[in-house]
Amino acid sequence: MSRNSTAGKIPEIVYRNGKPSKIIIGIKEYEALLEAVEDREALDWLKRSRKESKSYRPLEEVCARSVPVNKVLIEKKAEKGLRKLPQEVKEAVHSVLEKIASDPFPSGSRKIVGTDNLWRIRIGDYRILYEVDEASEIIRIERIGHRKDVYR
């Protein structure tokens, strides 16, 4: 075990002027903490989102491509977020949306903790939040955007 490893140990607290100023934790603990924060932000967003009225369009109209298997609907705010993305990110998002259409749970998708059917998928610093209704085979794309904005 390396000297700097804190995995499985009690976090180290750094003091300045007799007061705690920093905490040192292991990478795995840090990553788990980031996941928990992102899940919490997603839950807060979901609660706010449920109060708003929404309108959806078929993904085929937005991407101008045919989408196999599941019916994918994209919410207006998600479509607006998609239009604002840089072109290279937009192409990656289109590719992921096509994957979601054929497999609602592609590699890299994560279920939002505390929800029944809300999922997210990462594309670098960007996120797609989507809801899966397995009974009716409908996937609703709720939000697309940068990770700092997508949960607002």
pLDDT digits (tens, 9 = 90+) for 110-138: 888 888 888 999 998 999 999 988 778 78
| Burial (CB count <10 Å: 0-12, 13-18, 19+), residue 146 | middle
How many domains, in total, are found in the chain? 1
Query: Is 30 within the bounds of a domain?
Result: no
Q: 111: domain CATH number?
A: 3.30.2310.20
Query: Is 32 within the bounds of a domain?
Result: no
Tell me the pTM.
Answer: 0.60
Residue pair 38/129 in contact by the 8 Å Cβ criterion: no
Distance from C-alpha of 6 to C-alpha of 101, rounded to nearest angstrom:
41
Query: Is 93 within the bounds of a domain?
Result: yes
Query: Is 7 within the bounds of a domain?
Result: no
Query: What would the pLDDT profile of 40-71 be if each residue is shown by its tens digit?
Result: 777 777 777 777 777 776 766 665 544 445 68
Query: Is 96 within the bounds of a domain?
Result: yes
Place of tokens 């932000």: 41
Per the structure, the complete domain to which residue 100 belongs is given by 54-146
Query: Is 151 within the bounds of a domain?
Result: no
DSSP annotation string for 99-125: HHHH-SS-TTEEEPTT-SSEEEEEETT
